[in-house]
Structure 1
Amino acid sequence: MDDKLNDFLKQCLANMQAHVTIAELTKVSPSWGHMNYMPEVHKYYYILDGEGCFKLNDTLYEAKAGQLYLLPAGVKQTLSTSGSNTCYKYWCHFTASIGDINPFQIMKLPYRIEVDNALSGFVETLFRDMIAHMRRKELVSALKVKSLFFDLLHFYMERAEITEVRTEASLTYEKMKTVAAYMNGHLASDLTTEELARLFHLSPNYFTQQFKEMLGVTPIQYLKRLRLAEAKKLLRTTAMSVTEIASAVGMELHYFSRLFKSSESFSPKEYRQLYRKRSVIDSRE
């Protein structure tokens, strides 16, 4: 995955909203199962013991201990037991969105990962604490549940390969990704919302609304972030003057200096000096 795409996906994930609706530890009955249904919620299953048979779309999985499943909403599922030793599992249902888009259509993840024995206790603790906090009445318990859920998602995504898919539901994502790439390639230009909207034959207001729903910021705010990130890179890696860097990222010097200090709490020159001092210290250690 290239750096620009990686940065864009990070921004998408930063704006991801999620809510755990239920979490439990269950030993399923021999009659447990669901046939060819498409749930409206996402699900996690962590198998502790026993066996089961999961068919997800057209792929058949033998569910066994040590496996963690992520079953996205909208995926055709057939779930059943496969013997007398039925599945003993932690599980939870949750909703998730990035703007109005299903994140698991933007990022295609495998439906299953294997959890090493050394990490099984960590995963069990996440589920156990999630269940405990969902049962508590304290106000902060809701925040703890969300924190534990994102820890679980982080654990899963670190061990799963992400691939992009193009579906009808992810067209907005594809457009926004193209806009971000265009911005990166034209940092020195005097870009406007109107110009960016014209790229996709959209009205500026509608374009701004769609962009903010996806990334949580307006196109111009996102462009400022890109320019500041590029400016910091140039300050660290080149001998260009601050004036030259301001021009390279499409800003007037006085505005660039003011925006940089507001964002970083240092002027561009102070930032460069601080980075060089840190580099010298690091080289001595």
Structure 2
Amino acid sequence: MSQQLIKSESAPFIHNAGIKHVKEGETFFKAMHNHPECAEILLILEGEGTYSIDGISYKVEPQSIVIYNQGVWHEERAVSNKPHKMLYAAFSNFKVEGLPDGHLVSKNVSPIAPIENFLLIEELFKELVKESESTDFESNWVARNLVGALLGLILRNIYKRGSTKKNSNKHKIIGEVKHYIQENYHQNITLEELAKISYISPYYLSHLFKELTGITPFQYLMQYRIEVSKHLLINSNSTINQISYQVGYQSETHFQNLFKKIVGVTPGKYRE
């Protein structure tokens, strides 16, 4: 039987929803304020900043969710003169088990978190904004239920992160990414490509990979290419130029410099 955290008997009420797009060269700053009658969620699409929530400063990045419990004091400041884009929704009439009315997270849970299923949440959020602004038949009811769906997905994302099952799934994802790199290292692999085979967002994959391995996916790719080139230098008659192409580098000079930086000697010296 699935765990049920949301105890509300009806869909949340929407106070407002929309999209905020600060263009390059513009300033985005919202002084300290709160919303006594509703909670609010933000989905960061673009740009970085520093948000103060309940007296604590947090760094916000793309593809992360920001949660303001009802009544919490907060301040928003984007990186100066850089683009900043977000989707937002304020709502009330919901109850999460074990928490005060209007609260989505407890004080020991970070109100800012990377989103695992970002693309799905982004699409639902955009549809919510569209319906909340529409005058079409039953648009308000559709928008309210979309808020409910978003809350369920966000709570699932937050409260499963610390579980054993979730940790096991994290290692499975990274294992699959490593396996893909090992079989395709000679190709031009992108972070978006790795995210697609993992069914998670590029930002979350990069965050997760470094959390579990200590390095980024591209650092792993680079290290694996060097390991393959070491094997080829010892066990094949291919020239260094041929080997550089075989492991995915179009420039022999770049390969030589990278090899020496990682191994400590040039490919030619290693082969001796």
Length-normalised TM-score, structure 1:
0.47
Length-normalised TM-score, structure 2:
0.49
